[in-house]
A and B are shown apart, each in its own frame.
Chain A
Amino acid sequence: MTNNASEPMTAATPVRALLSKPWIWAFLAAAITFGATSLIAGSGAGSLFYAALTFASFSAIVGIGQMLVITLGPGNVDLSIPASMTLAATLALKFMDSETAMILPGLLVAIGVGIGCGVINFGLILLLRIPPIIATLSASFLYQSLAIWSNRGLRIKPPEPLAEFATGGALGIPNIAVVGILLAILAWVVLERAIAGRWISAIGQNLRAARLSGVPVNAVRFGVYVNSAVCAALAGFLLASFSGGANLNMGTEYMLMSIAVVVIGGSSIGGGNSNVPGIWGAALFMFLIVSMLNSYGLGAGIRLILTGVVIVGVVALASRKGYDV
C-alpha cells in the first residue's frame, strides 16, 4: 500500500496523540505541583501563576540555548552559561549606567558579549580540540573573572523604564514571559521547519555521517554555541533588569537549571532529538516544585535534595522509553 506520506501513523484519539508527545509529562507535572501548591497556599492562584511565568522565563531562555547544544550529541554541553549571564549583565548595566537613552545600546552590548563568549567557547573546542565540557567550564572562569574585575562590587541600577518593563506585564502575562515564549516559538521554527534544525539533529545523531552527507558541521556547531551564549547573555540582561542590578553570583543556579529543563522537557540526553515546548513545561515545573516545598514549610536542604531526586527520577524514566521523531 502506498498512501501519501503526510498522514500520521497513529492518531486513534486526540488524547492518545497528546500523550505520545514527550513534552506533555513536563506540563502535567507542572500542573500537578501548581494544584498542590495553590491548595496549601490558598492565597491567589493567579499571583502564583504570574510568579511562575516570570521565573520560568529565565530558565526557559537559557534552556533553549542549552537544548540546542545538547542536541549536538554526546559530550556537548555549555557550562559557561552562568558566567556568560553574569558577564553580559555586568557589562551591559555598567555601560547603561542607569541612563534611559542607553537601553538599546546596552542590550546590544549584552548580545555582543554573548556572541563573544560563544565565539571563544567554540574557538577553544575547534582550534584547541578541547572537549566542550572542559572548554566551556574553563572559559567560564575567564568570563567570571572579567565580570569581577569590571564590577568591583558595585551594584548599578538598571535604567528605570527597563526595570519597569522587566517587572511589568500585561493581561496577566509578564513581559519577560512574552520574550521567553517568542524565543521558544523561534527555536521551534528553526528546529522543526528550517534546514538548520535538520542539520543540528543530524549532527547529534551521527557527526561523521552528517559530515559525509554534506552538512556544514562546523558552521552549524559554531552557530549553536554562539546562540547558547547569546541566550545566556539575554537572560542575564533581563534578570539583572528584573532584580535591580547585576551581582556576581546571579547565574549560579542556572548551571543546573539549564540542563535540568532540557532533560525534564523530554529532549534526548544522547543528542539528536530536541523538544521546545517541554522546555517551558519543565521550567514552570522547576519553579513550582520549589515553591510547593516552600509552602509546605520545608527547609532549603530538603528542597535541594528533592530537586535532585526529581531530576534523577526523570532521567531514569526518560532513558527507559525510547523517543521517536
Chain B
Amino acid sequence: MQTISGAPDAPVVALDAAHMSFGPVQALRAASIEIKAGECVGLVGHNGAGKSTLANVINGRLTPTEGAVQYRVSDPAHKNSENAQASGVRSVFQELSLCPNLTVLENLRIPYRNMPRKGWRKIASQKMSDALDLVFPGHGIRPRATVGDLSIAERQMVEIAIAFADRDSEPSLVILDEPTSSLDAAIAQQLLDHIKRYCSEGGAVLFISHMMGEIFDVSTRIVIMKDGQIVDDNPAQAFTRQSIVDAMGHVAPDDDAQGSARSERELGPVLVSSAIGLNARRGEIVGLAGLAGHGQAEALAQIFFDHSSVWKSGKRPEVVFVAGDRARDGVMPLWSILRNLSLTTLPEFSKRWMVDRPAESGLVQKWKDRIGIRTNNLLNPILSLSGGNQQKVLFARALASSAPLVVMDDPMRGVDIGTKKEVYQMIQNEAAKGRSFLWYSTETDEILECDRVFVFRAGEIAAELVGDEISEENILHASFEMQEAVK
C-alpha cells in the first residue's frame, strides 16, 4: 500500500499550483495551500473570487485541470474524491444538501458506509444524538424527525453535526462554506466554540465566511482570495479587518466611465418605494449592491409585481423589466428578433386589439439602429444573435416603452465592454429625460454609475450611499459589517 499514514504534522491536504478552468473561465489560478491538523483556516474573498471552487478542489468534487492535490491518504490509483473520503475530508455547503423526505437519522446513514444492517436505526439514532449534543448542546432535534419538517436553521445544524459526527471513519478536515448564514447568534457561537475545541484536539477546519467577526474568532490562519488567486495567506494575528477588506480589494474601475453624468441631473419627487425601504425618485439611477443572493433580485421582482398586473395591460405601464438571466426571464426562444423586441410595447403602439404591423416594424427598426443590434434581418430568430446582442434586444424591449420606471436585474451578464459603455450612456440619457432606474448589479463599475446605492445584506438594506459615498470600499464595508453589529 502506498498509504502515507499520519505523521502528526503531515498536512491533511496540500494543493500545489492547482488550476481549475471551466472552458475559458479560470476559476482557480495557481493555488497552493496546505492545511495541517489542528489548524482552522479562515477563507475570505469576494463573490466569484474562487472560494467555492477551492473548497470543491480540496474535497475532491472537482479535479484540477493542472497542478496536484495531495491527501494524507493518497493512492494514485484512486480518484481525488475517493482519496479525500479516505482521508476524512468532509464538507458542509451553503446550499443545503440533506434529503428532505428522509428522517434526520436516515440522512446520517447515507454517508455512513459500514453501518451494521441489524438494528441500524437504533445505532444511527444514537450516533446522531451524540453528534448534535456535541456541537449544539440543548438543540432539541429528534433524530426521527423528518428533515422536511425542520426549520432552515435546524437543517443546517443537522448537516453540520453529520459532518463532525463520528462515523465509520473520523473526520480530519471539515470544510464549512458559510455555515452560520441561517443560524442565530447563540447557535452560531456554539458552532464557533465547537470548531475551536475540535481544532485544539487535532482536527482541521476550512471556514468560509463573509462575517469578519467569526473569521477572527476561530481562525488560526487567514487565506484571502481574489480573482481565482490566493493573494494572502498568513497567521490570523497578522490581519486587521481593514487590511482584509483592502486585500480582498477591487478590480480597478474604468476611470472614464466613473460617475460620467452623475450629479448633473435634477431629481424629481419619489416615484416608488417598497416595504423594505427601497425607493427611487424621478430621473434617478438607483443601484442595488451587496453580495449576490442577499435579496436584491427578490426586492426588484417585488417592485415589478407590485406595479404591474396579471389581469390588465394598459397603454401606460408603470414599470418595465430588463432581465439579466436571459433564458429564464427574457428571451422568447421561438420568436424572431422583431417579435421579441416589440413584446412589451404591443399595447402602446397598437390602436386596439390588433397589432399595428407598420408601427411595429418602424419601432423595431428605430431601436435596432439606436442600440446597434448586429443583424441584417430582423425576422431572423432571436437565438441567431450572440448573447450580447440578445441582451440589447431585451434592453430595447424595455426602453421602447413609455414606462417611467425601469427595473434591471443584473442586465450585463455576458455583455462585452463596448456594449456596456453604450448602454451606460443610454441609461444616463434616459435618466436625464426623467426616467428612473432600479439597477441591481454584481459589478462595481456599474454600481458606480448610480446616483444612489442601497447595499443589501440578508434581505435587508444595510446601507444607503449617496454621491461620493459610493465607492467599492464603502459597499464592501456595508456588505460585511452588519453582522458584526448583530453579534
Interface pair B334/A323, CB less than 8 Å apart: yes
A208, A209, A217, A325: the one contacting B339 at CB < 8 Å is A325
Interface pair A215/B334, CB less than 8 Å apart: no
Tell me whether A5 is interfacial, beta carbon within 8 Å: yes
Interface pair A195/B354, CB less than 8 Å apart: yes
The minimal Cβ–Cβ distance linking A45 to chain B, given in whole angstroms, is 39
Q: Which residue of B lies closest to A324 (CB)?
A: B381
Chain A 201-222 interface 0/1 with B at a Cβ cutoff of 8 Å (1 = within): 1100110111111111111000
Tell me whether B323 is interfacial, beta carbon within 8 Å: yes
Chain B 382-409 interface 0/1 with A at a Cβ cutoff of 8 Å (1 = within): 0000000000000001000100000000
The minimal Cβ–Cβ distance linking A63 to chain B, given in whole angstroms, is 21
With A216-B312, A272-B334, A324-B334 known as contacts, the answer to whether A208 contacts B376 (CB < 8 A) is no
A3, A9, A208: the one contacting B329 at CB < 8 Å is A208
Interface pair A5/B332, CB less than 8 Å apart: no
Please, which residues of chain B bring their CB within 8 A of the CB of A209? 323, 328-332
Interface pair A325/B330, CB less than 8 Å apart: no
Q: Which residue of A lies closest to B345 (CB)?
A: A214
A2, A3, A213: the one contacting B343 at CB < 8 Å is A213
With A201-B335, A202-B332, A209-B330 known as contacts, the answer to whether A216 contacts B310 (CB < 8 A) is yes
Tell me whether A157 is interfacial, beta carbon within 8 Å: no
Tell me whether A303 is interfacial, beta carbon within 8 Å: no
Interface pair A196/B353, CB less than 8 Å apart: yes
With A208-B329, A209-B331 known as contacts, the answer to whether A193 contacts B355 (CB < 8 A) is yes
Tell me whether A1 is interfacial, beta carbon within 8 Å: yes
The minimal Cβ–Cβ distance linking A129 to chain B, given in whole angstroms, is 14
Q: What is the CA–CA distance of A268 and B409 in the complex, to the nearest angstrom?
A: 31
Tell me whether B377 is interfacial, beta carbon within 8 Å: yes
Q: Which residue of A lies closest to B305 (CB)?
A: A211
With A201-B334, A206-B332 known as contacts, the answer to whether A211 contacts B310 (CB < 8 A) is yes
Q: Which residue of B lies closest to A273 (CB)?
A: B334
Interface pair B378/A5, CB less than 8 Å apart: yes
Q: What is the CA–CA distance of A206 and B325 in the complex, to the nearest angstrom?
A: 13
Chain B 357-377 interface 0/1 with A at a Cβ cutoff of 8 Å (1 = within): 100010011001000000011
With A2-B376, A205-B334, A323-B334 known as contacts, the answer to whether A195 contacts B312 (CB < 8 A) is no
Of A199, A213, A214, chain B has the most CB atoms within 10 Å of the CB of A214
Please, which residues of chain A bring their CB within 8 A of the CB of B380? 9
Interface pair B377/A5, CB less than 8 Å apart: yes
Categorize the interface residue count of chain B.
35 or more
Tally A residues with Cβ within 8 Å of B.
Answer: 37
With A9-B379, A214-B308 known as contacts, the answer to whether A194 contacts B332 (CB < 8 A) is no
The minimal Cβ–Cβ distance linking A102 to chain B, given in whole angstroms, is 33
Tell me whether B333 is interfacial, beta carbon within 8 Å: yes
Tell me whether B311 is interfacial, beta carbon within 8 Å: yes
Interface pair B339/A198, CB less than 8 Å apart: yes
Please, which residues of chain A bring their CB within 8 A of the CB of B320? 214
Interface pair A198/B355, CB less than 8 Å apart: yes
Please, which residues of chain B bring their CB within 8 A of the CB of A2? 368, 376
CB-CB contacts below 8 Å: A274-325 with B: 323-325
Interface pair A5/B365, CB less than 8 Å apart: yes
Interface pair B313/A216, CB less than 8 Å apart: yes
A4, A7, A205, A208: the one contacting B335 at CB < 8 Å is A205
Interface pair B343/A215, CB less than 8 Å apart: yes
Q: What is the CA–CA distance of A3 and B361 in the complex, to the nearest angstrom?
A: 12
The minimal Cβ–Cβ distance linking B404 to chain A, given in whole angstroms, is 14
Interface pair B334/A3, CB less than 8 Å apart: no
Please, which residues of chain B bring their CB within 8 A of the CB of A201? 332, 334-335
Q: Which residue of B lies closest to A216 (CB)?
A: B313
Q: What is the CA–CA distance of A212 and B304 in the complex, to the nearest angstrom?
A: 8
Q: Which residue of A lies closest to B312 (CB)?
A: A216
Tell me whether A44 is interfacial, beta carbon within 8 Å: no
Tell me whether B471 is interfacial, beta carbon within 8 Å: no
With A5-B365, A273-B334 known as contacts, the answer to whether A214 contacts B317 (CB < 8 A) is yes
Q: What is the CA–CA distance of A6 and B380 in the complex, to the nearest angstrom?
A: 11
The minimal Cβ–Cβ distance linking A73 to chain B, given in whole angstroms, is 11
Interface pair A194/B354, CB less than 8 Å apart: yes
Tell me whether A42 is interfacial, beta carbon within 8 Å: no
Please, which residues of chain A bring their CB within 8 A of the CB of B346? 195, 198-199
Please, which residues of chain B bring their CB within 8 A of the CB of A323? 334
Q: What is the CA–CA distance of A199 and B339 in the complex, to the nearest angstrom?
A: 11
CB-CB contacts below 8 Å: B278-322 with A: 304, 308-313, 317, 320-321
Q: What is the CA–CA distance of A325 and B339 in the complex, to the nearest angstrom?
A: 10
CB-CB contacts below 8 Å: B147-193 with A: none
B311, B335, B365: the one contacting A219 at CB < 8 Å is B311
Q: What is the CA–CA distance of A209 and B336 in the complex, to the nearest angstrom?
A: 15
Tell me whether A14 is interfacial, beta carbon within 8 Å: no
The minimal Cβ–Cβ distance linking A99 to chain B, given in whole angstroms, is 37
Interface pair B330/A212, CB less than 8 Å apart: yes
Tell me whether B13 is interfacial, beta carbon within 8 Å: no
Please, which residues of chain B bring their CB within 8 A of the CB of A193? 354-355, 357
Please, which residues of chain B bring their CB within 8 A of the CB of A198? 339, 343, 346, 355
Q: What is the CA–CA distance of A202 and B354 in the complex, to the nearest angstrom?
A: 16
Interface pair A195/B347, CB less than 8 Å apart: yes
CB-CB contacts below 8 Å: A1-46 with B: 1-9
Please, which residues of chain A bring their CB within 8 A of the CB of B311? 216, 218-219
With A193-B355, A194-B355, A208-B329 known as contacts, the answer to whether A217 contacts B377 (CB < 8 A) is no
A1, A214, A216: the one contacting B376 at CB < 8 Å is A1
Please, which residues of chain A bring their CB within 8 A of the CB of B323? 209, 212
Interface pair B355/A213, CB less than 8 Å apart: no
Interface pair B335/A8, CB less than 8 Å apart: no
Tell me whether B344 is interfacial, beta carbon within 8 Å: yes
CB-CB contacts below 8 Å: A52-77 with B: none
Q: What is the CA–CA distance of A20 and B337 in the complex, to the nearest angstrom?
A: 20
Q: What is the CA–CA distance of A137 and B357 in the complex, to the nearest angstrom?
A: 39
Interface pair B331/A206, CB less than 8 Å apart: yes
Please, which residues of chain B bring their CB within 8 A of the CB of A3? 376-377
Please, which residues of chain B bring their CB within 8 A of the CB of A217? 310
The minimal Cβ–Cβ distance linking A213 to chain B, given in whole angstroms, is 5
CB-CB contacts below 8 Å: B57-89 with A: none
14 additional contacts (CB under 8 A) given A5-B338, A212-B330: A194-B354, A195-B347, A202-B335, A208-B328, A210-B332, A210-B343, A214-B317, A214-B344, A215-B343, A218-B310, A272-B332, A273-B334, A324-B381, A325-B339
Give me 25 A-to-B residue pairs in the complex whose CB atoms sit less than 8 angstroms apart, sorted by A's number: A2-B368, A5-B361, A5-B377, A5-B378, A195-B353, A195-B355, A196-B353, A198-B343, A205-B333, A208-B328, A209-B328, A209-B332, A213-B330, A213-B344, A214-B313, A214-B317, A214-B320, A214-B343, A214-B344, A218-B310, A218-B311, A219-B310, A272-B332, A323-B334, A324-B334
Contacts from B to A (Cβ < 8 Å): 304, 308-313, 317, 320-321, 323, 328-336, 338-339, 343-344, 346-347, 350, 353-355, 357, 361, 364-365, 368, 376-381, 397, 401
